[in-house]
Amino acid sequence: MTVHTLCSFFQHGYADGYAHGRIHGLIEGRAAGKEKGLELWEEVGYYRGFALFWKSVHANDPSSRVYHHITSIMTAIDQFPLVNPKPQPATETESEGADEQLDVSKLLTQIRSRHKVLCSALGVPAPRLRALATGEYTLADGELVNLQTSSTKGKASVWKIDNENANRPALEL
């Protein structure tokens, strides 16, 4: 009798915990997905704006190599999905066609590489968005500098630091 009671308490607690975890997992997963989707579209939007700008600059010569690179990157961006498809149970015929489905990470890599090629054709340095987005790096004199390993000791400060106003009381609003 005691073992049966413990098992029923365990099963009841497990079911409650599972349901609670599922709810919180969905909430946290949705929030993480929105954040990651925003990051992806911020990057893709940058590439699209960059390509549209240079497309307008090179509109007079649509047969040029640069214009070809611009249309190539625009085609890849147009294939990028706007919505996340709902997962559906796969059947045997659908699982065979799963290889033909769009691979978002592969497409993003393709867009990034086409952007680098376009920058090279234009003679424009390609920015390193991923390194700058983390906050660990910054651009100093056109060079990528790691903020965590670089030291400012012994270097002259670019900005004058005024210590006389450091003890001034703050304004109260």
Q: Note whether residue 97 is domain-resident.
A: no
Q: Is the pTM of this model over 0.75?
A: no
Split into its structural domains, the chain has a count of 1
Question: 83-131, pLDDT tens digit by residue?
Answer: 876 767 666 665 555 545 678 889 999 999 999 999 999 888 877 655 5
Instruction: Look at the chain and count its residues.
Output: 173
Q: Note whether residue 129 is domain-resident.
A: yes
Q: Note whether residue 77 is domain-resident.
A: yes
Q: Note whether residue 165 is domain-resident.
A: no
Q: Pairing between strand 137-140 and 143-146?
A: antiparallel
Q: Note whether residue 87 is domain-resident.
A: no
Nearest alpha-carbon partner for 129 in 66, 121, 84, 119:
119
- Can you give the residue range of the structural domain that contains 7? 2-82+104-146
